Amino acid sequence: MSIAESAEVSAALHPGVVDLMGVLAYGELSAFDRLAQDSRTAPTLDGRAALASMAAAEMGHYHQVEAFLAERGVAVQEAMQPFIAPLDSYHEFTAPDSWLESLVKAYVGDGLAADFYREIAGALDEETGATVRAVLADTGYSAFAEQEVSAACAADPALAARLTLWGRRLLGEAVTQAQHVVARRDDLAELLITSTSGLVGFAQLFRRLQNQHTRRMRAMGLG
């Protein structure tokens, strides 16, 4: 069954919403993968358990999206398909080289995704918006990343400078991959333009995301 066919099963679901849920679901599944992998590089059992717990929380969210789509006759596997390549590329191009890079990536990536979806959620119908917001509830491990990274950077300005560049690269790569996705998915692009009241709103959205990214970097003692 193609995406178009599976979307037809549900009369209520805009194909742009199927896309939005698909990219959200694969975002969770690939974040699980990345966090689980990174948890193995943790210098302490505490750190390992913290990242493993973040990974586990992503799967909880994945199941919420899966259930939302299933109730509307859409298979999550089909909805995710178009987003596997761009999200895998993002993770491939931003493979962390150290435990602290992993933490910054987990924190920045989760925060960026949450900000983005929260902006869109307001323009979606009530149920869809509620699902998106529930899925993006803080997994509760932000404080851990903030503490670990600030503590390490306070003692080492060169490290802080390197991690600041790393944070910028993450944002740049995320924007690049997001642009690829939107350029190829007309229904999703239309949904985003509508949700943000046109192209001007879209530009403002990106500025807001950038500001929130900067705030997040500062919370870790970076930027």
Residues that bind its own copies (CB under 8 A): 29, 32-33, 36-37, 39-40, 44-46, 48-49, 52-53, 55-60, 62-63, 66, 76-77, 80
Q: Please, what is the minimum distance in Å from the beta carbon of residue 116 to its own copies?
A: 23
CB closer to its own copies, 77 vs 214: 77
How far does the chain reach from its first CA to its final CA, in angstroms?
A: 46
CB closer to its own copies, 34 vs 185: 34
Tell me how far apart the alpha carbons of residues 217 and 215 are, in angstroms, rounded to a whole number. 5
Q: Please, what is the minimum distance in Å from the beta carbon of residue 25 to its own copies?
A: 9
Say how many C-beta atoms besides its own lie within 10 A of residue 169's C-beta: 14
What is the amino acid identity at position 101?
E
CB closer to its own copies, 51 vs 192: 51
CB closer to its own copies, 57 vs 149: 57
Q: Please, what is the minimum distance in Å from the beta carbon of residue 22 to its own copies?
A: 11
Q: Please, what is the minimum distance in Å from the beta carbon of residue 47 to its own copies?
A: 10
Tell me how far apart the alpha carbons of residues 58 and 106 are, in angstroms, rounded to a whole number. 11
CB closer to its own copies, 22 vs 167: 22
- Residue 145 main-chain phi, psi, to 5 deg: -65, -45
Q: Please, what is the minimum distance in Å from the beta carbon of residue 29 to its own copies?
A: 6
Tell me how far apart the alpha carbons of residues 32 and 41 are, in angstroms, rounded to a whole number. 15
Tell me how far apart the alpha carbons of residues 25 and 22 are, in angstroms, rounded to a whole number. 5
Among candidates 119, 120, 115, which has minimal Cα distance to 216?
A: 115
